[in-house]
Amino acid sequence: MPRVLYIHGYASSGNGHTAQTLRELLGDRLELIAPDFPAEPMPALAKAEAAVIGMDMVVASSYGAFIALNLSHCVPTLLINPCIYPSHELPLLDTEVDADIVACLKSMESQLFCKAAAKCSIMHAVFADNDELFSYKDEYLKYYSNIYKVHGGHSLDYDTIKTTVVPLIEQLTHLMP
């Protein structure tokens, strides 16, 4: 049975809407591992690096996609509305974000695409056409080519997860016939 690591977005949890919907729709066809990740980037990355060992795939949303882009392990990855520059976005969402965290994020951002060539064939992203928070589709396309456009906002609704995200997970984990 394929094992998939889900990395949630900022201020979400491993039991958030997307993780619950994926569990419901994928049922017992794969094992979805969706731990809670800290908001601080280095502890989140360390937890993700440990959790990805033995996984067949990573699915990550928003800020979680930023963490996934920083993983050193090469496994098929599906990013959902990835936040490529959280040093800019997080202070807009949370005015209490510490300056040290923003500095750490900027440092991580400067190295974000260093391994892009090695990950190009395994990196996939879903971008919503009406994302009310941000869209880094053009920046993503500078380094990767596998994108899927969907209708909707930043948090994908049940039907979009069912009709787009689940089939992509099935394809990338070879669950589809």
Question: pLDDT digits over 142-170, tens only?
Answer: 999 999 999 999 999 999 999 999 999 99
pTM to 2 decimal places = 0.95
Distance in Å from the first CA to the final CA of the chain: 15
* % of the chain at pLDDT higher than 70: 98
User: Which CATH entry fits the domain spanning 3-171: 3.30.9.10, 3.30.360.10, 3.40.50.1820, 3.10.20.740?
Assistant: 3.40.50.1820
Q: What is the pLDDT of residues 43-63, one digit of tens each?
A: 999 999 999 999 999 999 999
Mean pLDDT calculated for residue range 19-40: 95
Q: Is the pLDDT of residue 176 over 70?
A: no
Separation of alpha carbons 171 and 7, rounded Å: 19
- At 32, give phi and psi (nearest 5°): -95, 115
Q: 117-142, pLDDT tens digit by residue?
A: 888 889 999 999 999 999 999 999 99
Residues 88, 16: Cα–Cα separation, whole Å: 24
User: Exposed, middle or buried by CB within 10 Å (0-12, 13-18, 19+), for 145?
Assistant: exposed
